[in-house]
């Protein structure tokens, strides 16, 4: 008994000493001043580029943008989950990739898009059919792959480009995530991580996996786990802690009869992107009984460890060149770039893309 206790204490001591080496981000502290801090754009951004998307008669009218991906030569936009449009770097419309349907090269709802730098193929993930579709650089359909898991209740959510391959993940309320690396040489999935709990009947899906940053070495984060990982030798390696404290939603309230009855402040992550050394956390704090929801943008510098909880980024001369908590933001092709979608107020024209290059 005594030996077992000593072993337990030793394990705890080792775990604590390891965690002390990690940089810690306290994602939201409600005791802090709630005022939003304005950061001058030129203090963190080296340059900007405004890309007006094609509004000619030959170009489509873009609906709700769910995804934006920049390759070395084009922008790819997923509109309403049903259409994948390619534009050149000046914003000129080039083509529609694939089409709606269930046949070869067709899809129902796209939840992932990327371009393979090695073979220039365009990769799409159709969530309803659970198929990964592949097209060549000119938009011609090449092939598809559909994984067959022993767990028949496992549904992939999307993927993130990783080196010359893809990291697939699911949405599941678990502190461990379902994470798979597509092995192109054998056309199968390598298991990186598996969830540690099954969702109960009637339980809402709240958790999501956020993969962000350099596709050669991205960060990986899951809502129900404070740890931000990197991937080395097909294993998850802890690198930072991102804590939300008691604002994390508990498993036992993820049911219709209990949902929305909590009086405590609750944290909902919405998006994470990285440009250079800066990580942008987009999240919502809600108090359900008050039906109050506030959107925040926080900024973390991975180099210095500096973290600012509530920010907006503004240019002193141009009201369009801003980054705020409500913006739709994506990773750029370069690790220094982020892409922000801006709609034109009171206009029936297509939105514009602003590329921000970080210092």
- pLDDT in the model for residue 185: 75
Cβ atoms 299, 27 nearer than 8 A: no
Q: Does 18 fall in a domain? A: no
The pair of structure tokens assigned to 295 is 């959107």
- pLDDT in the model for residue 4: 44
Q: Does 93 fall in a domain? A: yes
- pLDDT in the model for residue 20: 54
pTM of the entire predicted model: 0.91
Q: Does 7 fall in a domain? A: no
Query: Tokens 């089409």 correspond to what residue?
Result: 99
- pLDDT in the model for residue 11: 42
The pair of structure tokens assigned to 217 is 């070495």
Question: Taking the chain, what is the end-to-end CA distance rounded to the nearest angstrom?
Answer: 57
Q: What is the CATH number of the domain that holds 269?
A: 2.120.10.30
Q: Does 33 fall in a domain? A: yes
- pLDDT in the model for residue 261: 77
- pLDDT in the model for residue 94: 98
Q: Does 19 fall in a domain? A: no
Q: Does 11 fall in a domain? A: no
- pLDDT in the model for residue 88: 98
Q: Does 97 fall in a domain? A: yes
**Cα maximum dimension of the chain:** 79
- pLDDT in the model for residue 346: 56
- pLDDT in the model for residue 354: 98
Q: Does 313 fall in a domain? A: yes
Which stretches of the chain drop beneath a pLDDT of 50? 1-19
Q: Domain tally for the chain?
A: 1
The three state secondary structure string of the chain is: CHHHHHHHHHHHHHHHHHHCCCEEEECCCCCCCCCCEEEEHHHCEEEEEEEECCCCCCCCCCCCEEEEEECCCEEEEEECCCEEEEEECCCCEEEECCEECCCCCEECCEEEEEECCCCCCEEEEECCCCEEEEECCCCCEEEEECCCCCCCCCCEEEEEEECCEEEEEECCCCCCCCEEEEECCCCEEEEEECCCCCCCCCCCCCCCEEEECCCCCCEEEECCCCEEEEEECCEEEEEEEEECHHHCCCHHHCCCCCCCCCCCEEEEEEEEEEECCEEEEEEEEEEHHHCEEEEEEEEEECCCCCEECCEEEECCCCCCCEECCCCEEEECCCCCEEEEEECCCCCCCCCEEEEEEEC
- pLDDT in the model for residue 60: 95
**Residues spanned by the domain of 293:** 24-358
pLDDT in tens, 115-140: 998 899 999 999 999 999 999 999 99
């Amino acid at each position: 008994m005594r030996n077992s206790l000593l072993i337990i204490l030793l394990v705890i001591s080792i775990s604590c000493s390891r965690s002390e080496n990690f940089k810690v981000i306290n994602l939201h502290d409600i005791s802090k001043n709630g005022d939003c801090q304005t950061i001058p754009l030129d203090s963190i951004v080296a340059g900007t580029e405004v890309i007006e998307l094609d509004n000619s008669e030959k170009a489509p009218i873009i609906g709700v943008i769910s995804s934006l991906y920049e390759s070395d030569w084009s922008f790819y936009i997923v509109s309403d989950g049903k259409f994948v449009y390619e534009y050149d770097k000046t914003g000129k419309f080039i083509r529609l990739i694939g089409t709606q349907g269930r046949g070869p090269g067709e899809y129902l709802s796209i939840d992932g898009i990327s371009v393979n730098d090695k073979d220039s193929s365009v990769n799409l993930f159709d969530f309803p059919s659970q198929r990964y579709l592949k097209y060549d650089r000119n938009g011609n359909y090449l092939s598809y792959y559909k994984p067959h898991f022993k767990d028949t209740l496992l549904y992939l959510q999307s993927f993130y480009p990783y080196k010359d391959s893809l990291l697939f993940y699911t949405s599941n309320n678990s502190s461990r995530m379902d994470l798979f690396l597509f092995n192109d040489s054998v056309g199968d999935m390598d298991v990186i991580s598996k969830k540690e709990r099954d969702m109960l009947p009637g339980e809402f899906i709240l958790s999501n996996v956020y993969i962000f940053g350099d596709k050669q070495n991205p960060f990986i984060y899951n809502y129900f786990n404070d740890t931000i990982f990197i991937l080395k030798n097909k294993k998850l390696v802890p690198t930072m802690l991102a804590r939300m404290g008691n604002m994390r939603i508990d498993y036992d309230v993820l049911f219709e009869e209990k949902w929305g009855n909590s009086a405590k402040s609750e944290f909902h992550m919405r998006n994470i992107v990285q440009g250079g050394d800066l990580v942008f956390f987009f999240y919502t704090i809600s108090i359900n009984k008050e039906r109050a929801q506030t959107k925040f943008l926080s900024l973390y510098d991975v180099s210095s460890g500096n973290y600012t909880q509530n920010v907006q980024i503004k240019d002193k001369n141009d009201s369009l060149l801003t980054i705020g908590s409500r913006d739709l933001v994506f990773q750029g092709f370069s690790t220094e770039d982020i892409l922000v979608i801006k709609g034109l107020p009171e206009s029936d024209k297509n939105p514009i893309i602003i590329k921000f290059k970080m210092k």
